[in-house]
Structure 1
């Protein structure tokens, strides 16, 4: 992944007005590029200086952005405005969420699942004190992935993995796999339970448990099955009535259907470690040496 950080500096009132007028459209177009993961240019305390923080999925996406920018109205009007920033290779950092991450996590969940149901579920868990672990994958200041672990009422310590989300533009790069591995490292003494694809979770030491239970089709993600030696509720206490009402008000329930899925779970100490990927660090960020952006680079 390619990141840039630095400043955009106006040398006159006319240049500052040009930025103020044309920057919003440039931001909108840049954020809509398929390879753009983050594109933030914001005014600092100095009215003539803007902070630049951008992230692209790879070098090809960055080059495509450069070509579009040079041919755009923004590129023509801002060509003479000073840009002072560095370009760097951004590594992925795995860590626990911080209070300031909440809004970005909810936005990621809404984008990944094309709706607010999963975001509402995580926020309800957080407010009720049932979010045991909230793990994120971050690169260049952008939250690219999230995994939530919530407690199950069980005869032995157990946690449910739900939801697991990766930004659509960053999928296919092993981020979900690293979040699963990180979750297993964070809760080594817990039984981990997940409703998912056996081919994917089997790689991390999960084993299959057959499950066939009638559920309303549109509530399958919200509900969870009874795990071995566990009571029916997937959480220590049920979701508030208001959350259930909001959920069914925004998503019309479908007729009940028979759901044949696989409930996978992992016993502590059975996870086979995969080769370490040096591009993903935990929990400390390790960036490649920075290189000066130089002239001719436009953001």
Structure 2
């Protein structure tokens, strides 16, 4: 999903050069043992990312960065995590900088993981017995919700900052993950793609693909422009968009409810015209 959201940003931002990906996972979700073990091992992981066109060595659960997920979740701090998307997107979308950060719906748990990493206590998570105990504890006493958010912030340069963001959120991360995989398999079966090995963003257009999931999954899609004239205040849901320009809201959050894809495209084009006038 993050790959598709990054591609969507790339279609609306001229000369997009960076993408920051944020993932929020609910602690109340019924995660499998493998997912828990991956997270425990990821906390102590080191990996490389592309930043400003150069390869940099980074570490998981360091370099925390704040982002606003939505009105009801508010401002959260997410930390680096070794997800695959940040290694793929720089090549498939030709970007200079891509990073992926992770947090949980419980700020306390997120900061606990970060504290363990900072103090060196996270090394204990390497032991299988410790992982087994924590998995049993989290399975028996789930605290948190099953909500998830996948969000991408993007822009043309780090100097000008974020120009556009989009996200998909809902409940049941495992369910939506399975639906995405099933949809990809279905499309590969009924379509006539060229033979070869591809990533999801190389085969599918983001909005039609995401909207096709609506019949089998409830989710909320959010898009928001960030303009230097005035920080964006409004948030729009379900494939709507909001643009703040010179102190005036060009589109109210509910204006695009029920709009057809062509009218939503017109909305994005209008936003693009505003950005062009501002010199982006």
Which TM-score applies when normalising by structure 1? 0.20
Choose between structure 1 and 2: higher strand proportion.
1
Choose between structure 1 and 2: higher helix proportion.
2
Which TM-score applies when normalising by structure 2? 0.21
Larger radius of gyration: 1
